[in-house]
Amino acid sequence: MEKLYSNRRYVIIGFFLLIGLIFIIRLFYIQVIVNKYILSANNNVLRYVTQYPARGLIYDRFGKLLVYNEAAYDLMVTPHQVKNTDTLEICRLLEIDKQEFIDRMRKARIYSPYRPSIFEAQVSRETYCYLEEKMFRFPGFFVQPRTLRKYTYPIAAHSLGYISEVNPDIISKSPYYKSGDYIGISGIEKSYEEILRGKKGMKIRVVDVFNRDKGAFQDGKYDTSAYAGTDLYSSLDGELQAYGELLMTNKVGSIVAIEPSTGEILCLVSSPSYDPNLLVGRIRRKNYTNLSQDSVFDPLFNRALMAMYPPGSTFKLVDALIGQQEGVLNEKTLYSCPGGFSLGNGKMVECHPHFSPLDLKLSIELSCNTYYCKVFKSIIDKPCFTTTRQGYENWRNHVMSFGFGRKFGIDIPGELNGNIPSANYYDKYHGINRWHALTIISLAIGQGEIGITPLQLANLAALIANRGYYFIPHIIKATSIKDNLIQEFLQKKTTDIDPKYFDIVVEAMHGVTEAGTARNAKMDSIAICGKTGTAQNPHGKNHSIFIAFAPMDNPKIAISVIIENAGFGATWAAPIASLMIEKYITREVKRKEVEQAMINANLIPLR
């Protein structure tokens, strides 16, 4: 029996010895082999400093720098480490009062007592120098370098976009972002955020009890490097963009220019605009509030992509092409114009005085409303269709093939569909089988329910310049390693109109600037093909519209100009478009009188 108890004693002793040995081995492993527990135990003397990468730079199509980075500094705080801080001195340096200091500390503690957060973002260089000298008086605080976005020129705010601090919703959706990080909010900055932002790194620094940096922890063994973002080459012509914004001074509207052979956007002007540097740094919040509350001019609204207008007479080009495709129209088709198109019951679509009868070419040159009401009616009422609805849906399908009524998929946010009303819309509004061609005749001349964006109008000009195809408009050409970014931008999009029908329309558009409604856009050295539009506006004076491309053969630029509440398309939009074409193709403008007249014109409507 004693032997049995003796054996049990040895077993128990052995068991405890085994447990002790396990603990000794584990402690040796933790303290000697693995350092991560040392890091946790020494959080109070180690500082984890995020290394923010420089965002990628943005250039224009000729290599001119548009967006760059400038050094900035954030004052960080770890609430748990804040002890015996010289509160009065830090308040003086930051120009805040004691209550503001208390409120910020409370906010930092709510975020985390043990993790650093931003106490003061983007302090000036001068303040940073003072802080660095006195950091030993501010335990728990440290300065973290980062970069600030800057813009070389005060242009292209809507295209380039801006960055801002991430909100909780963004943080919850992406593990990459932490409180205090910045992200692209609009324009190129938003669309290409993942390319531009780079990759963050981390440095672990040792600090003493006086908050002084004593160097890297274990010679930087656990540090990770930051990788700078990728540079982008935009398709924008910075000089042309600046010129367009100058021409649109004191005007409400837009200018969109595209290179027809590639779909690259040469300029994207939305007016009124703003200096993109206003939304940088500590002044961003105040300036953003002022800009967003400007309900009169709404400078943050990107009219080039988001405004919708009736296209007016520019839409006659579309009907001219569809009419030929449907076989109800050819270049010799003659229609007379008695001053308007009769709707019966004494109503009519009025037309301005001009020569009559007209063929297809002259109908475009002189922009005859009557001619296109008759063309539209012949398309809708084509004998092969048993109902108006069938004729209309056929016409609408043709229109949609031009890129209207849908988004292109441009590479900056904010693009709208526009509107080409469906047959269901008219069934609902007028009743099934209770509408016909005359009911919707305003569509013939680009009025009624049609809504088209300036980008879509510029693309129409590019499509006609290419005689039937276009490329998706886009604003980035390549990255810094010269890769094309999106293969879809290289693919041709074709209409369902036979290319052979475009020649007469191109010839007529040339006639518009030579002897037609836009003679004031004529240039002796460049053959410009264009079309005027005067879009009716129920809220005030008509909108002035002009689309064009040049030269007539081998076109280099396609453009749309819309000036709200400015009257006839020929008066303002056409000469501005011709100046833009001259500037782009020749790189200088010789028609100084026309230029000054456009720049000095104040066309902002009284409100």
- At residue 282, the pLDDT reads 76
Q: Do 203 and 245 belong to one domain?
A: no
User: Is 67 part of a structural domain of the chain?
Assistant: yes
Q: Are 87 and 131 in contact (CB under 8 A)?
A: no
CATH number for the domain that contains residue 101: 3.90.1310.10
Q: Do 159 and 244 belong to one domain?
A: no
Region 214-240: mean pLDDT is 87
Sign of the alpha-carbon dihedral angle for 190, 196, 199, 204: negative
Among residues 204, 234, 264, which one ends one of the domains? Answer: 234
Q: Do 88 and 68 belong to one domain?
A: yes
Contacts of 389 (CB under 8 A, 6+ apart): 423, 427, 433
Of 22-26, 177-181, 239-243, which range is least confident? 22-26
Mean pLDDT for the chain overall: 89
> Read out DSSP for 78-97?
-GGG--S--HHHHHHHHT--
Region 485-490: mean pLDDT is 78
- pLDDT by residue (tens digit) across 454-468? 999 999 999 999 999
Domains in the chain, number: 3
CATH number for the domain that contains residue 464: 3.40.710.10
- pLDDT by residue (tens digit) across 128-160? 888 888 888 888 888 888 888 999 999 999 999
User: Residue 405: left (phi > 0), alpha (psi -120 to 50), or beta?
Assistant: left
Q: Do 260 and 386 belong to one domain?
A: yes
Q: Do 76 and 23 belong to one domain?
A: no
Q: Do 198 and 168 belong to one domain?
A: yes
Note down the domain range covering 273: 238-600
Question: Is the whole model's pTM more than 0.85, yes or no?
Answer: yes
Among residues 234, 269, 303, which one ends one of the domains? Answer: 234
Per the model's pLDDT, the better-predicted residue between 18 and 370 turns out to be: 370
Q: How confident is the model at residue 23 (pLDDT cuts 50, 70, 90)?
A: confident
User: Is 84 part of a structural domain of the chain?
Assistant: yes
User: Is 39 part of a structural domain of the chain?
Assistant: no
User: Is 175 part of a structural domain of the chain?
Assistant: yes
- At residue 377, the pLDDT reads 97
Q: Do 533 and 561 belong to one domain?
A: yes
Sign of the alpha-carbon dihedral angle for 587, 591, 594, 600: positive
- At residue 337, the pLDDT reads 94
Q: Give the three-class secondary structure for 264.
A: strand
Main-chain phi, psi angles of 264, to 5 degrees = -70, 135
Among residues 234, 267, 284, which one ends one of the domains? Answer: 234
User: Is 484 part of a structural domain of the chain?
Assistant: yes
36 pLDDT above the threshold of 60: no
Region 45-57: mean pLDDT is 83
Q: Do 219 and 332 belong to one domain?
A: no
User: Is 519 part of a structural domain of the chain?
Assistant: yes
User: Is 242 part of a structural domain of the chain?
Assistant: yes
Q: Do 167 and 93 belong to one domain?
A: yes
535 pLDDT above the threshold of 80: yes
- At residue 209, the pLDDT reads 61
Q: Do 51 and 16 belong to one domain?
A: no
User: Is 496 part of a structural domain of the chain?
Assistant: yes
Contacts of 108 (CB under 8 A, 6+ apart): 77, 79, 117, 119
Region 589-599: mean pLDDT is 95
Q: Do 230 and 244 belong to one domain?
A: no
Q: Do 295 and 194 belong to one domain?
A: no
Q: How confident is the model at residue 39 (pLDDT cuts 50, 70, 90)?
A: very low
